[in-house]
Each structure stands twice: as structure tokens, then as C-alpha cells.
Amino acid sequence: MRPIDEDRFGELVDHALERIPVELAERFDNVAVVVADRHDEDPDLLGLYEGVPLTERWDYGGELPDKISIFRLPLCHMCADEDELVEEIAVTVVHELAHHVGIDEADLHALGWE
């Protein structure tokens, strides 16, 4: 599909965050979710977690927030319509938030999150 505008995409990301179960959302600590057009080095990347997972925070304090980027253009290009985009954004958000709580790629795949 053609890329939707940044404002609408941001609304869809916000909606995906609102769908996160409260039990999981309560575990997030010091993490910011941002929208960008694309990753500079890997233009096909859908999302990226940058930070220290909760499971690795031993002497953690006074740090800048972890960052989760959700990339608008590759997500729009992979989807046929807005309904599919809504679902792909939700999957990407969950995938990156899982990294924040310490779930790695292998565990995500084992849980069915390809």
C-alpha cells in the first residue's frame, strides 16, 4: 500500500500500545516508543529496540530511556491495506516490547511471533 501520513501512522502505533495487556504494560520501565520513516542502515527493518532489557538491569539508574522505533515506510510497503497495517504494527510493537522485558528472538519465535 502507499504510505499513510505520519500523523495517522502515529495514531495506529498509539492504538497498538493501548491494546497491550495491562499486566504487560505495567512492566515497562524507562522506555520511549517513537515513529520514524525508516532505519538508516537497514531500510527493511520494521522496528528496533535500543536499550538495556529489564532482565539485564543490575546497577541501573539515571539512564536515558530505552528506545523502541517503529518504522513507517517498510510497514506500509509490506501491507495491502490499512487493516493489515494495523495488525503488522501491533505485532511489531509487541515484538520490540518483548525485547525490552528480556525476551530474545529465539524465544519470540518459539512463542509463535515470527
* Tens digit of each residue's pLDDT (9 = 90 or more) over 32-63: 999 999 999 999 999 999 998 988 888 877 77
Domains of the chain: 6-110 (3.30.2010.20)
* Tens digit of each residue's pLDDT (9 = 90 or more) over 86-95: 999 999 998 9
pLDDT given at position 44 = 97
Say yes or no to pLDDT of 26 above 90. no
The three three-digit cell numbers of residue 14, written as one number: 498509539
Residue 43 CA, distance from chain mean position:
16
Q: Please indicate, yes or no, whether the overall pTM of this predicted structure exceeds 0.85.
A: yes
CA dist., res. 81 & res. 107, Å (int): 29
* Tens digit of each residue's pLDDT (9 = 90 or more) over 66-81: 999 999 999 999 999 9
